[in-house]
Chains A and B, each alone.
Chain A
Amino acid sequence: MKKLFLASLALALTSSVAFADTIKIGVVGPFSGPASLQGRNFQAGIDAWLAVNGNTIGDHTIEIVYRDLPAADPAQSAALTQELIVSEGVQYLAGYYYTPDAMAAAPILEEGNVPMVVFNAATSAIVNASPYVVRTSFTTWQTSTPMAAVARERGINKAMTVVSDYGPGVDAETAFVTAFGGAGGEVVESVRMPMNTNDFSPMMQRIKDSGAEAVFAFLPAGPATLGFMQAYVENGLKDAGVTLLAPGDLTQEPDLVALGTNALGLLTTFHYAVSHDSPENAAFVEAASKAIGNAADLSFPAVGAYDGMYVISKMIEATGGNQDAAAAVEAVKGLSWTSPRGPVSINPENRHITQNIYLREVAQEDGRYINKEIQTFEAQTDPGWKAP
């Protein structure tokens, strides 16, 4: 009897080791501080995915471990990533709102045998920093390039560029200057602002003085973009006839409420609008709105996280729950599916997402401000990526 008891105990213990297979996913993002709305969108996307698909994949239970990184801080990002791998034992890393944070974490991936799925950070070069990086968001090259064609179609000849002085800002500037120049336009001036700039009035004056017909701008979505847009409106640039051209970071849906009627008619190019019309998106918006609490807070980082979770689930399926970063990344190369944003696929060459980019116009519908999609640039790859 005792022997039987011991045997069953031993069996229970060993089998519990085999079945109590919790796979941890470490998520790094801005969950407190001024940019916490973006972090909450990460969380909403993850929660929405878990609500729709459940938190088990085969025999494996998924557990999410959040770490807060309120602002772009590469040293802290490296520290948190190392801690997630060593101390928490995460099998997958995800999130990373700002490029410097993703860049700082990337060199650790190979030694830690952990793939990273970037939910947002948008500099093209991140995928070159490690073979274990997969990205489900966008690059500023991807979102900015179509804007040049749009501007030329609308008869704009002279433009000025204003960007945040860091990776994705420089990318956005280069992308626009390249495409706009290639289409026969002239960029009269290019300005890079320090990332922590929060007073944009002097910049608006400079734009007015430059004599440009349009200003192309990129700042990371969050407090900075709202401040920039308010300055654009308040300093009368719109009335002075200076057209604003920007990727959709500048008109993310939660900011539109604060900008009000002033933003109506603004044109932006982006990969996702909350108002995108498809059954997939309707289901996503319903689940994500429930997760975030207030539907008006929903924005694009949520869709990056939602699709990122899908990619991670495919990685877990392919590796059977074993920690094998190389196999996991290999399994999702070329993966294609229908995302809430439209048809997408993972480019096997650079592990970045190929997707539609939409031209949108800020419009009012049923009393809500939305980014109304008016033109589609289909299956855009990342024009900024060059083989290392």
Chain B
Amino acid sequence: MSDMPVNSVTTRSWQRTALGDFWAVAAVALVAGALFLLFPTNLALLTRIIAVMLLVLSLDLVTGFSGVATLGHATLFGAGAYAAGIFAARFGVTDPLLMLAIGAVAGALAGAVTSLVILRGHGLSQLVLSIAVVSLAHEAANKLSAWTGGSDGLSGIAPSPLFGLFRFDLFGRTAFFMAVGLLLVVFVVLRIVVRSPFGMLCRGIKQDPVRVRAMGAPVYFTLVKMYAIAGAVAGLGGALSAIATKVVGLDSLSFTTSAEALVMLVVGGTGKLFGALVGTLVFVWFEDRVSAINPFHWLTIIGVLLIGVVLFAPKGLVGAAESLWARVRGRRS
């Protein structure tokens, strides 16, 4: 896999993509900084949002970019969360960076292994297979309660201070800054991945797998590779949530979480990395606020939001913003 963008023969286009990366990172960092200043008491929520963002980014890689239909993506998130949690609670591996690494490896392994099954199907059968995978994983975690805590949840996770200096405090500052740092790194890496020849090949597979195969490129193996990368990203998200909340529950490995991730991706816009970020931020933030304002009937309000987005912004919020921007620019010129 080369890091060079596909069309970059000239220095100018290389500079342009580097500049694009810079602005993208600056935008994300700016929003994170603004949220930190505006909502200093909601850092735990923001950290949770970033963990879910990693899951949704990962889902975007396989669904938005590679066209794999899945309703079982939380398997990879849960694999990362449980791996990091089990190593911390049972084997005393409490260094947060090491826990993140363990989560990434576990997620990548889970991604590679489950993709072998999920990629056997197409369309609806693929969806069913993905649901089967997440249900099996959920049940396995429930049965192995000696390791995972089962329905009681895996507790006893006590991450040691970050770099030996910054304790994970009640206000969640350390966790928040670590999360933002992690998100920025992952975001840049993924931007490079999706525009690499490998990323282009995945998009090609999404559009026409038969043609890609006729060209002589391996479809199945390419997708397995993409799944492993996506797994690492989702696993990082899982490990982050284990570090930040210090508990891992069966919910992190559930069909519901998988379906919610897909909903967030649709809200933001599929096939765009920004779509995953915006969709998650809007959805989780809205959900948290609405359920705090009215803990009794909030689900109804969420339903109305979803219907609104699907009816009036079928390409997701980012897609809608893009077309609006294009229209404004078109009028100006």
Is A346's beta carbon under 8 Å from chain B? Answer: no
Report if B41 contacts A (CB, 8 A): yes
Closest A residue to B171 using CB positions: A86
**Interface-located stretch among B190-198, B293-301, B319-327:** B293-301
Decide if A73 is an interface residue (CB 8 Å cutoff): yes
Q: Is the CB of B151 within 8 A of A32?
A: no
Q: Are A85 and B170 in contact (CB under 8 A)?
A: yes
In the bound complex, residues from chain B placing their C-beta under 8 Å from that of A343 are none
Q: A-side binding surface: helix, strand, loop or mixed?
A: helix
Interface residues of B in 266-320 (CB under 8 A from A): 291-292, 295-299
Whole-angstrom distance between the Cβ of A94 and the nearest chain B Cβ = 14
> Is B13 part of the contact surface with A, judged by Cβ < 8 Å?
no
Complex: chain B residue closest to A36, CB-CB = B296
Of B142, B245, B247, B297, the residue contacting A194 (CB under 8 A) is B142
Assess whether B251 is in contact with A75, with CB atoms less than 8 Å apart. yes
What A residues does B297 contact at CB under 8 A?
A: 32
Distance in angstroms from B285 CB to nearest chain A CB is: 13
Query: A71: which B residues are within 8 A, CB to CB?
Result: 251
Query: Which chain B residue has the least Cβ–Cβ distance from A33?
Result: B299
Q: Please judge, given known A-B contacts A36-B296, A108-B170, A166-B152, whether A74 and B247 are in contact too, CB under 8 Å.
A: yes
Contacting chain B: which of A97-105, A144-152, A225-233, A323-331?
Answer: A97-105
Interface window among A76-84, A235-243, A255-263, A364-372? A76-84
Beta-carbon contact of A79 and B48 below 8 Å: yes
Give residues 100-143 of A contacting B (CB, 8 Å).
100, 103-104, 107-108, 111-112
- Within the complex, the shortest CB–CB distance from B281 to chain A, in Å, comes to 16
Is B5 interfacial (CB 8 A cutoff)? no
> B143-171, CB under 8 A of A: which get 1 and which 0?
00100001111010000000000000111
A179 at the interface (CB under 8 A from B): no
Residue of B43, B48, B249, B291 touching A67 (CB-CB under 8 A): B291
A165 touches B150 (CB 8 A): yes
A residues engaging B (CB < 8 A)?
Answer: 31-33, 36, 66-68, 71-79, 82-83, 85-87, 99-100, 103-104, 107-108, 111-112, 164-167, 194-195
Question: Can you name 6 A-B residue pairings with CB atoms under 8 Å?
Answer: A66-B296, A68-B295, A74-B248, A86-B44, A104-B249, A111-B169
- Which residues of B come within 8 Å of A, CB atoms? 41-45, 48, 139, 142, 145, 150-153, 155, 169-172, 241, 245-249, 251-252, 291-292, 295-299
Given contacts A104-B153, A165-B142, 20 further A-B contacts (CB under 8 A): A32-B296, A32-B299, A66-B295, A68-B298, A73-B249, A75-B245, A75-B249, A76-B251, A78-B245, A82-B44, A82-B170, A83-B44, A85-B170, A86-B172, A100-B151, A100-B152, A104-B155, A104-B247, A104-B249, A112-B170
